[in-house]
Amino acid sequence: MSRFDPVDVVHVDLADGRTPALARGAWAVLWHGDLALGHAELTPDDVASEARFARVAAGAILESVASRRFPAGYAPAAPNRFPPPAPEAPPLAELLAAAAPLAAVARGGPARAPDTERASVIVCTRGRPEDLARCLAALARGRGRPGEVLVVDNDPADPRTRAVVERAHAVTYVPEPRPGLSAARNAGIRAASGNVIAFVDDDTVVHERWLEALLAGFDGPRVLAVTGGVLPAELRTRAQVVFERRMGHASRGHARIAYDAAFFEPQVAYGVPVWAIGAGANMAFRREAFDRVGLFDERLGAGATGCSEDSELWYRLLAAGYECRYEPDSVVLHHHRAGMDDLRRQAYAYLKGHVAALYVQYARHGHRGNLRRIALTLPGFLIERTVEELLAPPGERTGLLGAEVRGFLAGVGLWRLARGGAL
């Protein structure tokens, strides 16, 4: 069996005490009521006995439960070059007992829910009416309605998007004919009226507590950006499994993380890993963030250089002394690209866009760590990937190496961005 074989995505509520029954491998999201506490890759052997499943589940949810219940003594650090070893997990029953009060709050217990009506939710889309309809339906089911939902159509000549919006309830249509995700996002920001601007991608399905939990991440006046958890909606094709294992977002974990000066400043010389903060598929900003550091850079992102328009904006905020949060209680399920050709195009765009963003970050701030990453870190990564692919059996190869190398070289060719130039 290849590690890239399709698997089932299953959702397990640990509070009900039942061990899941599996016919084949599964990617399991482990919940306690409305709280996603962890995820684990399971085989039928892992659920053959309650004791074995308990060991697997305990290891998967340890960081999440411990960091929530004992934040002073167990706060996960933001990603760094020298991560500490993981602690041994206590018994599952002990962890579930600690998680129970947290789940009560998630269900609407004593903690006061954030005022969701102060938020504007923006969905940018281009020619994907079925995905958009599914996304809007999930938003309509959410607990805690936003003040407004705006759909920015990045191809208004195609009438299908407007038709979906007209069938939806209380959704505003915003046309933006200039191509590019950053241009679309900026159009949405200009049209929005909320003092918090939240973004989800059109190929996501939000959990009903998504917006409440995302807004809870704004836990201090210096926090200007919050990202949430992005889990796979399905892993039914090889391409979707490859994406999740190589490029997916669930690896960010299920514990809250603060990104501040302690994360940013020590890593400036190496290239700060701002991409670890989250994903543009699930993020929010205080409106003042755009007043202080500007809108999305329209040279970056899908439809321009490929990606990293979100992480470049987080970089600007951190460089200006503000903070970002990762809030895993805010969950969206993402429909990864199903075909390998689409995935290769995405891998190309990721590398190209990443290099472009590094140039832009250098031009704005003069931080040489961004150039160091282009000149040393990324070539080293690609060499490691080449060796890995060559040594792997045919069924274990990702098929992405060529696209990644071409994307990197295409990004290097955008060196004028390092001087503040245009594309």
The better pLDDT of the pair 174, 96 is held by: 174
Cβ atoms of 417 and 309 closer than 8 Å: no
Cβ atoms of 363 and 261 closer than 8 Å: no
pLDDT at 70: 72
Q: What confidence category does residue 86 fall into, taking pLDDT thresholds of 50, 70 and 90?
A: low
DSSP state of 131: H
If you average pLDDT over residues 280-287, what whole number do you get?
Answer: 97
Beta strands 196-201 and 119-125, pairing class: parallel
User: Percentage of residues in the chain with pLDDT exceeding 90?
Assistant: 76
Q: What confidence category does residue 200 fall into, taking pLDDT thresholds of 50, 70 and 90?
A: very high
DSSP state of 157: T
CA distances from 321 to 196, 317, 364 (A): 19, 7, 15
What span, in angstroms and rounded, lies between the C-alpha atoms of 174 and 123?
10
What span, in angstroms and rounded, lies between the C-alpha atoms of 359 and 414?
8
If you average pLDDT over residues 79-91, what whole number do you get?
Answer: 60
Query: Is the pLDDT reported for residue 99 higher than 80?
Result: no
The residues near 339 (Cβ < 8 Å, ≥ 6 apart) are 237, 239
pLDDT at 2: 80
Query: Is the pLDDT reported for residue 108 higher than 60?
Result: no
Q: 332 and 346 share a domain?
A: no
Instruction: Answer positive or negative: Cα dihedral of 155, 152, 251, 290.
Output: positive
Domain end point (choices 87, 106, 125): 106
Q: What confidence category does residue 111 fall into, taking pLDDT thresholds of 50, 70 and 90?
A: low
Query: Is the pLDDT reported for residue 361 higher than 90?
Result: yes
If you average pLDDT over residues 230-240, what whole number do you get?
Answer: 96
The better pLDDT of the pair 231, 1 is held by: 231
122 belongs to a structural domain: yes
Instruction: Give the range among 74-83, 210-219, 244-253 with minimum mean pLDDT.
Output: 74-83
213 belongs to a structural domain: yes
Cβ atoms of 111 and 105 closer than 8 Å: yes
Residue of 256, 235, 258 lying closest to 245 (CA atoms): 235
Instruction: Give the range among 31-45, 168-182, 405-419 with minimum mean pLDDT.
Output: 31-45
If you average pLDDT over residues 38-43, what whole number do you get?
Answer: 94
pLDDT at 423: 75
What span, in angstroms and rounded, lies between the C-alpha atoms of 179 and 191?
17
Query: Is the pLDDT reported for residue 110 higher than 60?
Result: no
DSSP state of 7: B
Q: 324 and 366 share a domain?
A: no
1 belongs to a structural domain: no
If you average pLDDT over residues 305-323, what whole number do you get?
Answer: 97
Q: 87 and 226 share a domain?
A: no
pLDDT at 66: 82
3 belongs to a structural domain: no
Cβ atoms of 296 and 176 closer than 8 Å: no
Domain boundaries, position 274: 116-339
Q: 86 and 37 share a domain?
A: yes
Domain end point (choices 293, 321, 339): 339
Three-class HEC string of 163-180 = HHHHHCCCEEEEECCCCC
Amino acid symbol at 4: F
- In the chain, the largest separation of any two C-alpha atoms, in whole Å, equals 61
How many structural domains does the chain have? 3
Q: 190 and 317 share a domain?
A: yes
What span, in angstroms and rounded, lies between the C-alpha atoms of 105 and 384?
45
CATH for 232: 3.90.550.10
pLDDT, tens digit (0-9, with 9 covering 90-100), for 8-17: 999 999 988 8
Q: What confidence category does residue 63 fall into, taking pLDDT thresholds of 50, 70 and 90?
A: confident
pLDDT at 128: 97
185 belongs to a structural domain: yes
Q: 101 and 145 share a domain?
A: no
The better pLDDT of the pair 41, 87 is held by: 41
Facing residues of 323 across strands?
Answer: 223
385 belongs to a structural domain: yes
DSSP state of 306: S
Q: 189 and 329 share a domain?
A: yes
The better pLDDT of the pair 103, 176 is held by: 176
pLDDT, tens digit (0-9, with 9 covering 90-100), for 117-132: 999 999 999 999 999 9
Chain centroid to CA 265: 23
Domain end point (choices 80, 106, 132): 106
Q: 164 and 198 share a domain?
A: yes
156 belongs to a structural domain: yes
How crowded is residue 409: how many other Cβ atoms within 10 Å of its Cβ?
13
Q: 216 and 132 share a domain?
A: yes
Amino acid symbol at 402: G
The residues near 357 (Cβ < 8 Å, ≥ 6 apart) are 300, 305, 307, 308, 309, 311, 312, 315
Q: 215 and 331 share a domain?
A: yes
Q: 335 and 347 share a domain?
A: no
If you average pLDDT over residues 108-117, what whole number do you get?
Answer: 66
CA distances from 329 to 59, 77, 137, 392 (A): 18, 17, 20, 36
Q: 270 and 380 share a domain?
A: no
Instruction: Give the range among 34-48, 87-101, 347-361 with minimum mean pLDDT.
Output: 87-101
Q: In the structure encoding, which two tokens stand for residue 80, read together?
A: 């760094």
pLDDT at 81: 57
Q: Give the predicted TM-score (pTM) of the model.
A: 0.92
Query: Is the pLDDT reported for residue 35 higher than 50?
Result: yes
What's the mean pLDDT when you consider all of the chain?
91
282 belongs to a structural domain: yes
What span, in angstroms and rounded, lies between the C-alpha atoms of 256 and 395?
36
What string of DSSP letters covers 326-359? EEEEEEEEE----SHHHHHHHHHHHHHHHHHHHH
